[in-house]
Amino acid sequence: MGTQKKKQQTQTQDTVLEQLRDLGGGIGKSVKSDLLGGVGTGLLNELFSPKKKDLKAGEEVVISPQELPQKPIPEIKKPEAVIFIAQEANLAQEVEAVRTELKKTVEELKELNTAVVEVEKAVAQTPVKAGKYHLSFFARLRAILRLFRQQVSESRVWLEASFAKKRKRQYWFMFKKHGTTFGLSSERAIATQAG
């Protein structure tokens, strides 16, 4: 049993020693190859290269476009730009949809205008024998005209409010554009003062 322990210890010592010896030999080989191989040829190329010149004080480095490597410039994609473009496209589509709806509404109003003319003709003609039919017909016409007048007056109010907002925006745009010369102008102060 004692002899087996001695053999194992010597084998481990031999393996550690062998490892150190191999490690030292590997370092020596790499230093040798670096000195003789890569560094030596690089040094020779550096010394005898015709392309490189010594710079003197005040001299600029001139690099011709042929010497520069041509690399394509990578295009940077910005996800926020894609989102904004999509939002602008959606907004443009919505605006176009509203415009087409307004065009249809204008055409309908023109038709309503002709309907109003027809109602005017119907009211101008007095019925020969007035009955329940005529009474209900004129009552319906009156209800339709009241509703039409109410819708037109409401739309007129909204349109006037929209134009008032636009005028205010133009006023403040002028204030922003011209600054204090516009804001402190005596003519503007007189025009906008209360009373």
Q: Residue-wise pLDDT tens for the chain (195 aa)?
A: 555 555 555 545 557 667 766 666 666 677 666 666 665 566 666 666 655 566 677 777 777 766 666 777 777 777 777 777 888 788 778 877 777 776 777 777 777 777 777 777 777 777 777 777 777 777 787 777 778 778 877 887 888 888 888 877 777 788 788 888 877 777 777 777 775
pTM attached to this predicted model? 0.29
Cβ atoms of 141 and 122 within 8 Å: the answer is yes
CA distance 41 to 37: 6
> Is there a domain that residue 165 lies in?
yes
Cβ atoms 129, 144 nearer than 8 A? no
Whether 119 and 135 share a structural domain: no
* Structural domain harbouring 139: 129-195
* Whether residue 134 sits in one domain with residue 115: no
Half-sphere exposure of 35 (CA within 13 A, CB side): 6
Q: Identify the CA nearest to 123 among candidates 140, 147, 148.
A: 140
The rounded Cα 16 to chain-centroid distance in angstroms is 66
Residue 176 and residue 145 in one domain = yes
